[in-house]
Every structure is written in C-alpha cells, then in structure tokens.
Structure 1
Amino acid sequence: MPPTWRLAIYISLAVFTFFYLTLTVTFFYIRRHKIDDFKYRPLRLNLLSAFATIMLCVMYCLRTAFYPNDYPCLLIHWPVHIGYCLWCSAIACRALSFVWTARFNLAKLQMNTVYRNNAYEGTVATLRDGKKRAIGGSKMYRLDVSDKEEEPLILKRVRKWRHAATDKWLAERIIYPVVAFSIAMALIVQAFSPELGFKAVHTVCPTTTISSVPITTVIVTFLLIICPFLCYLLHDIRDAFGLKRELYIAMVCGAAACVGYFVLEKVATAVREYFGSFMFSWIFFMLWHTISITTPLVRSFKKKETVELKPDASSKYRNFVAVLEDPDLFPLYKECVAACFCTELIVFLEEYQVLKSLVVQACNSTHQPTPLSPVAIKEKKSLSFADIPRRAEPAHNLVQTPCTVSITDTVPDLSKIPISQELYEEYMRFYYMFFDQDSELAINIHGPTLAEAKAIVGAGRFEITMFEKSRHEVFELLYWNTYDAFLRMFGDEITE
C-alpha cells in the first residue's frame, strides 16, 4: 500500500490538474473571440491537444500516487497510446497550419503592385463582368499564358495547399487517422500482452517488455524525424505573436518529458518513491498548456485601449507616421506587418499610392478625359490573386506625397477632375481588391465604412475621395495592431 502522504499529495494534484486544465480550456473556448491572435490558433487543434494533455497529466498523477504496484496497467496503456499520438499529431498540424499562414502573407507582399508593360497603351483594368480592357484602345484582349508564368512560384505553392491549411482538413486527414491508428495499435499490443488482459487486472507494469516498443517507436519517430522537419519549416519565419516560439517550446517540452521519464525510470530509480517517473512529463506538459492556453486566456481579460486615434495626439503616433514616410524603415515595417499576418493593410497603402498617382495624372492631363459611360452593376464572384490585373507602371514621379498624405491633400481642386473611364475602372479594381469580403486582400474595417463603400459602388456614384475613410481606418489598424510589434522587432534599427 502506498504511503498515505503520497496518496494525499498526488491525488490532490490529480484533482487540481483536471480542474485547472478543464476550466482553462473551457474559458479559452468561451472567450476565443476576445483573444487577439485567436484566428492563428486553430481551435480544433488546440482543443484536441488540450484533451490529450488532460488525459496524460491526470494519469501521471494517479500513477505516481499508487506507485509502484497499485495502479492498473490498462489505465496506463490506453492514455499513453491515445494521448501521445493525439498530442504529437496536433502539434504537428498546428505547425503546418502556421507555416502556411506565414507563407501566404509573404506571398501577398510578392503579389503587391506587380507591374509589366502590356500589349496596349494604358492601364489594364478589371470590369465587373471579369473582362480585361486596355484603356486608351478599343481592342479587347485575353490574358495570355505568359501572365500566369509571371506569377511568383511561392504564391502558386501556397495557394495549392490552401484547403490543407484549415484545422478541419488537418484534423480529418491527419489527426483522426492517427488516433484510429493508435487505438488499433493499443488493441493489438493488448491482445499479445498478458499483463493488459481484461479478465484479471494487473498492477505490475514492466516498462521493458515488447508491449512498450510500438508506442516508443512512435514517440521517437516524432522527436527525431518529424520535429526536425517542422523546425526546418519554421526556422525562417518571423511572427509578432510568439506562435513560432510556442511551437518550439512544445517540441522541446515533448522531448524533455520523454528524457525525464527514462532518466527517472532507468537511472535515478530511488527518486521514484517521492517523484514518479511520469512527473517530469507532467511538469513539461503543464508548462506547455500554460503557455498555449492559459496565457492567451489571461491576456484576453486585459483592457484594450479604445481612445480614438488623433494624428497629433502623441509623439508615438508622429514616429509611426515618420516610419511610413522613411524609405529605409518602410521595408522593415512591411516585414513586421507580414509577421503580424495583416499584409493586406500595407498592400492597401501601396495600392492607394498607385491610385493617387492615377488621379494626379488625370489632374495634369492635357487631353479631355473619356467621360464615364453608364455600366450595369452586377454581382461578381470573389476575387483571387489571379484576378488582380497587372498594369503598366504609372508615373510615380507625379506623386511627391507619401502614403500618409491623402488624395484630397495631394490634389488642390478635386472638383475639376471628372471621373473618367480610366479612373472608374481603377477605382473598381481597388474596390474589388480590398472591399469584397471574399477577396484574399479584404481589409477588416468597420461595418459602416464598408457599407458606405458598397452603397457608392452599387449606386454607381463614384467619387474621387470615396476611399478616404477607409484609408484613415487602415492607419488606425496599423497603428494599434502592428506598431508596438515593430518597435519590439526593429527597435535597434530605429535607434541607429
């Protein structure tokens, strides 16, 4: 019979472990929309890994409480087989999903403002019916094969695996089959292991028998083959949320848990009377759960700033504007925005500069602009990167103002600029690129601003300044969501 003190301590620890893990996971699910980086933490994968952690950690405590020969071997056998396989596959799937998200955001930057000279003079624009027209010429043309070949290779690859980056696809194609495999493996091992029989409950559980070989092989394969491969995929990714660091910690915790178990089981055997072989594993799994579930949950209760952005309110905001206007710091800021997984915001600003240059061209044009012809507004399928037209590079030397300066402040008298056919189609292209909520570059702005833009497009009442509110909101989103991360990531460069 185990000592009373050990029973009391470790059974209490098992109860605490169960309630701590269960409650934190429950509140994580309830408050998931309050967590800043939740959309980059696949819910299904997090819940499955948390379930595996609960199963394993409770078993660790109970096994230690009834050590050495008072805990049924079956209650070790099944949690170990299912728990380890579930946890390892969930971590691997989280890493794969994260890698795809990061690669996709980098690919967005590569697609931004990709210029080429087209077959006709002028700007290639996309109409609502999906046809391409060369403004300034009456001919219609089709996108030839060379256009598709110009698409960055990385974009082709990440788009190909888009469907495989969702937690549902990863769970159905990887995790569930792995769990089914673990159950089948556990049944086969149990059938050939006398100490795991149902008729007589065995409590003497040897760790060196043939029954431990399959699960040991699975764990070693994960640690020595899968983890290095995942590290290779992750090593050149930068993220501002610490998700890459979390995945590294998960793999280190998994390795440390296994090493700690074998050290206590085979080397420091005397310690097991006080600190069971599984308790190192308990420590590292609890540490991982605290980092991946509890810490984001606690942060969700942190009161967020709701002060309206005022351009002259603080020196910090003025520094933010200076970064956007600095030609050396702006590329670093783009990298930071990609690390925050909101590349569409910085793409919006750069495309806004292109739109501004076209307005300036129209203002300085010596010929009479083509009048706007009425066009029937029809619904259009969602925009993808392949649909974003490539156009000849506009005369940027006409635009002397940075992206922090609006079209209104750049052009002195907008009332003299009619909405020409060229500007109309460029504004339509800009709208579909950033305001169609099914677009890959859709910006997450306030509902009223989005509704106003949709109403203008639906009524055909185009205005030169129709995107100014959106530009202001994009600045707010960038300032509140990315500038602090930029200071953390590139503070040294700013100081220099």
Structure 2
Amino acid sequence: MSVYIIYLFYITITAIMFVRKAKDKHSGLAQRNTKLVMLQVLSGCLMGTVGMISTAFQKWPAFLRLWFTNVGYLVMFAAVIARGFQYIVVSNLHNITSDIANSKNPRMMSMQSQTSPEFARQSSRFQRSGSQSSAFSNTDYDTPSDTVGKSEKVTFSDLARQARDSSLHAISGPERRLHKRLQKYAKLQHLASSKSMFLFVMCNFLVAIVISLVVNILNDQFTLSPMSMLCRLVWGFIPVMVVGGIYVIFVMPIIFVKCWKLKDAYGIRNDLLICIIMGIFCIIMNTVWDVVLQSIAVIWSGWFFSWITGVVIHTVSVTVPLFAAIRHSRDVTDRMHGASGIETSMVAAIAGANGNEVGKRSEYNAILADPHEYRYFRDFAASCFCSEMTAFIDEYQMLKELTVLSLGSEDVWRQDINHAEAAYSMQLATNTIDNGVSYLAMSNRSAHPNTRALRLQTPPTVTIIETAKAVYPQYDFNENTPFPVASMDKLIAIFSVFINSNSYTAVTLPPSMIIRLRERLGTNQLTLTILDEIKEEVLNMLYFDVYTRYSKRK
C-alpha cells in the first residue's frame, strides 16, 4: 500500500507541475497539448492502479478491474494517437510554410496570375493584395455588403478559385506539389484541432464504457450483485485487448513512421515509440502470464506489467519533458536578464558572465546574416512550431528590398545624381559598407536615368529606414517618411497575414504593442518605422526561445 501511495504522489505532483509549467510561454510544454497529456496521465493512473492493486490483493472487485482496464488502455492509446496525428499536421504546415518562405520563385510567393477583367473589377485593391503579396495569407477580404450583392460574392469566390488554380499551372512541378501539400494539410487542420482530438479521445472513452457495460451484463464474473471478487484474463478483457492491439501494432507504428522524417523539437516521437514498445510488452505479458503461467499468476499477478507500463509512459511523456522545460525556462530567463542588464559590449566584456550573453547574441545575429546558416535555423524554427516568426522576417526582408528600390525611383525622393562627383560616389559606397548594407549596382539602367537597380542583402537586424539612409544618404529620411506606393501592397499583406488575429500565421505580440499599432493605423501613419517594433519583438522571441534550443542541439 505504501508503494501505491508513493506512486499516486509521484503522478499527482508531476502532473500538477506539468500543468503549471505549461502556462510558461518559454517552456514549450503547451506544444505537447496539455489537455491530451492530462487525459493520458489519468488513463495511465488507472492502468497503474489495476497493476498495483492486483499485485497486492488477489481478491478485489472484478468489475472495477474491468472498468479501470478498459478505460485506461483505450484512453491512453487514443490520447497518444491524437497527439501524434496533431503533431504530424501542425509540423507539416510549419515546414511547408518555411519552404514557401524559402522559395525564390515569384509565382510561388505571390500565387497569382493574370485574371479576367471581371475579377479585377469586383475585387478591391485590398482584396487583391491578400493573394498577390504573400503565399501565407489565409485571410479572405470580403467585399462590403453595401457595394456587392450576395450573388456577386459567389462569383468573386469562383473567380478567385479559378485564379488560384490557373496560378498552379504556371508553377513548376516540385513547387506545385508543395502547394498541394499545403492545401492537403490545411484541410486537415480542423481534424487535428484540440477540440477534434479531445472528441476522438472521448469517443474511445465511450467505447470503453459500452464494452464494460456489455461485459457486466453478459458475464456473471463481473457482476455488481453479487459482487465477484476474483477474475482472471477471461473473454471479458479480450475486446479491449483487441482494440488496444490494433492501436499499438498498426495505428501507432504508421503515425510513428509519418513522424520519423519530421524534425521533433519537443520529443513527441519519443512518446509514440515508448508507448508502442510498452503497449506491446504489456499486452503480451498480461496474456501470457494469466493464461499460460497461471500457477505463477496466483502468487504474482500479471497485471503488475500494467503498472510498469503506466509508470514508464508517464515518465517519458510528463516527467522528462517537465524537467527539460524547467531547465529551458531557466536558461531563457537567465538570457533575458543578461540581455537587459548589459547595455554595451564593453560593459559586457568587463562583466564576465554576462559578457557571454553578448557573444551568444552575436552568434545569433551572425546566423541571421548568413543565408546558409539561416536556412537551417529556419527549418529548426519550423520544428518548434514557430515558422510564422521566420516567415515574418522573410517577408520583412522582401518588403525592405522592395521599399528601398522604390524609394530610389519615385519622383518625390529622387534627385539628379547623374553628374555626381567621383568623391561623392566613393562616399556613398563607404557609407553603405560601414552601415552593414551591401548592394550591387547593375550595369543595365532602367528607363528612367535616375533609377538604380540594386540587389540588397541586409540582415534582419538592419531596419528599413537604416537601409534607406545608407543607400541614399543624399535623401532626408526620418520617422515620418511614408512607405512608397509601390510597396504598399506588400505592407498591407504583412498586416493581414502576420498581424491579423484571424490569420493562422499570426505572430503572438504583446497587447500593448497591438494597441500602439492600431493607433498608428487609425491615423494613417504608414511610415517606414511602423514594423520596426514588431520586427524587434519577433527577433527577440526567436532568440530567447528558438535559438536557445537551437544552440543546445548544434
């Protein structure tokens, strides 16, 4: 009995700590789906209870053993399957999003093609921008009801679908397959939602209840009155063993194979693997022990293996991730405190321990600036379910390049620099290099003599206005400088995809930041610095969370 009390204490304490720690946004436990994990904990506790009591007492109510076994096994396996399926869908969506962000094909990025005049007439500029400027947009801009009737909205949807279909024909084979995969997993989102997975587990719970009731009614060995106190592994346990066997022998291995190719930052594959091994082990040992080795089962119950299975699965799914999350949260907190306590690299060098923080930040910035390293970092961020952050950075970089090119060609900013002196040209190149901005002046000039064709390669740490000042030091750019018209569609698309709370790729931002952004949008202050605060917040989130995990796995 004392062992059982210790077991319950272990299960209860670790489960409570898991739930509390999951509320910490830096722990990563929320990505493991806390509700499903808790259902797994409860069902595992039932399995462990059956094993402990059956080992300690040969005679105890048979109907309790039946109900605990049926509910424990089915809910346990169903919860693990639900978590695995949800992980496959979510991970693939993030990986595909990351691959699309890495695509260099303009058609792949815009997913647009030439549309009919009717489509162009019915869709407003804001509606078209949602499909023109980003491949990640799932936000549909409905035409206001006072200008377009219901039948026209249907026509617009049909035309939009035709436009998307026609764009696929213009994309190459691999990219077309990538987009089809995106559509496939996007359709599976509602099936892999937390609500759907919870309903799936509850359906298995109802199946266990029905099986138990039928067995209670048909078999006198499991009756309540008179209460049966002794039962073996007879046919009453066969239905749940069959269903459980199908789960651990067929369903779970299929899900595990699907998960094997995915980068797993949270160890969900480990849960599947251990559950498969221990599930098969438990079913085989229980059956052999109580059917073949009956003489030994009288002394030592075969249900003891159910307790071992429950303990091992709980340890792998709850305890190990819990302590890993505690260590990770501590590392993130220390890194955040170190970053806030050090203002300059010179002070950091004197500070000793905190000086290491500046070194880590420099390594992180170097990864962002190196396209090769950044590709690996972006893939790892996708495995951490943070692809929307790197996608935002990629779109910000594209907006930066488009904006700087547009600023050099619009009449409001352009000055005649054809006859610039050689000294001025040298100064321009020097200022550009000193500010960390590299560009390539192409030999071919555009139709306008004052337009330069630039190929910008600036790290995300450099803002749009800093880049513009470095490339065009002769212009007076400031915080009130508006975005050029040519880059406005891209800016609006970024708002709709990453800032709009209804978008599934929305970046999680502090409420105060959202309020300030809305105030600026309300006054039409679409200046070059409007995204800088958001960009810095995203870079910090990537650094404190994703890079902390990434640096440990290098």
- Identify the residue that residue 18 of structure 2 maps to in structure 1: 28
Distance 1:364 1:74, change over 3 A: same
| Counterpart Cα distance in 1 of 2:344 and 2:490 | 29
C-alpha contact 1:256 1:281 (8 A) present in aligned 2 = no
Q: Contact 2:94–2:382 (CA<8 Å) still a contact in 1?
A: yes
Instruction: Tell me which moved more, 440-449 or 143-152.
Output: 143-152
User: What is the SS of the residue equivalent to 1:105?
Assistant: helix
How far did 1:301 drift? 5.1
Q: Note the C-alpha offset of 1:275.
A: 5.0
**Residue 269 (structure 2) pairs with residue 244 (structure 1):** yes
1:15 aligns with 2:5: yes
Q: Equivalent residue for 1:39?
A: 30
Query: Are the aligned partners of 2:113 and 2:163 in contact in 1 as well (CA < 8 Å)?
Result: no
C-alpha change, 1:128 and 1:456, in structure 2 (3 Å) is: farther
How far 1:119 moved relative to its partner? 4.1
Which deviates further from its counterpart, 335-344 or 246-255? 246-255
Q: TM-score, normalised by structure 2?
A: 0.72
How many positions carry a matched residue from both structures?
A: 443
Does the residue aligned with 2:190 lie in a helix, a strand or coil? helix
**Aligned-residue RMSD, C-alpha:** 3.1
Unaligned runs of 5+ in 2: 134-155, 169-175, 346-356, 415-451
Q: How does 1:318-467 map to 2 (within 5 A)?
A: 318-365=362-409, 367-368=411-412, 397-412=454-469, 413=473, 415-416=476-477, 419-467=483-531
Q: Name the CA distance, whole Å, in 1 between partners of 2:408 and 2:21.
A: 53
Look up the match of 1:376.
Answer: none
- Cross-structure match for 1:153: 180
Q: How far apart, in 2, do the equivalents of 1:231 and 1:90 lie? A: 14
The match for 2:542 is 478
Per the TM alignment, residue 42 of structure 1 is displaced from its structure 2 partner at its CA by 2.0
Which residue of the partner structure matches residue 218 of structure 1? 243
The answer to whether the Cα contact below 8 Å between 2:50 and 2:306 also exists between their aligned partners in 1 is no
Is 1:190 equivalent to 2:216 in the alignment?
yes
Contact persistence 1:81–1:182 (CA under 8 A):
yes
Q: Distance in 2 between matches of 1:128 and 1:44?
A: 43
Q: Is the 1:50–1:289 contact (alpha carbons within 8 Å) kept by the matching residues of 2? A: yes
Equivalent of 1:130 in 114, 127, 130: 127
Residue-by-residue CA offset, 1:247-290 (whole Å, 9 max, x unaligned): 32222222232234345445666765775322232123112212
The alpha-carbon distance between structure 1 residues 206 and 276, as it changes in their structure 2 partners (threshold 3 A), is: closer
Distance 1:219 1:160 in 2: 29
Distance in 2 (CA, whole Å) between partners of 1:231 and 1:300 is 23
Structure 2 distance, partners of 1:291, 1:127, is 53
Q: Is the 8 A contact 1:17 1:58 kept in 2?
A: no
- Counterparts of 1:128 and 1:457 in 2: how far apart (Å)? 17
What amino acid does structure 2 have at the position aligned with 1:251? I
Q: Is the 8 A contact 2:54 2:304 kept in 1?
A: no
Tell me whether 1:180 sits opposite 2:241 in the alignment: no
The structural deviation recorded for 1:128 is: 7.6
Query: Structure 1 residues 222, 363: CA separation in 2 closer, same or farther (over 3 Å shift)?
Result: same
After superposition, where does 1:23-102 map in structure 2 within 5 Å?
Answer: 23-34=13-24, 36-67=27-58, 70-102=59-91
Aligned in 2, Cα 1:144/1:290: closer, same or farther, shift over 3 Å?
closer
Show structure 1 runs of 5+ residues with no match.
Answer: 1-10, 136-140, 371-394, 492-496
Distance 1:320 1:254 in 2: 42
Q: Which residue of 2 aligns with 1:138?
A: none
CA contact (8 A) 2:392 2:498 kept: yes
Report what 1:115 is aligned to: 106
Match of 1:317 in 2: 361
Query: Displacement of 1:79 after TM fit?
Result: 1.0
| 8 A contact 2:405–2:453 mirrored in 1 | no
Q: Is the 8 A contact 1:311 1:318 kept in 2?
A: no
Asked whether the equivalents of residues 362 and 369 of structure 1 are also in contact (C-alpha less than 8 Å), the reply is no
Q: State the identity %.
A: 20
Q: Deviations over 1:433-466 (max 9, x none)?
A: 2222222222223333332222211210111122
> How far off is 1:300 after superposition?
5.5
Rounded Cα–Cα distance in structure 2 between residues aligned with 1:155 and 1:358: 27
Looking at structure 2, the residues matched to 291 and 418 of structure 1 have their Cα atoms a distance apart, in angstroms, of 54
Separation in 2, partners of 1:162, 1:291: 27
Higher helix share: 2
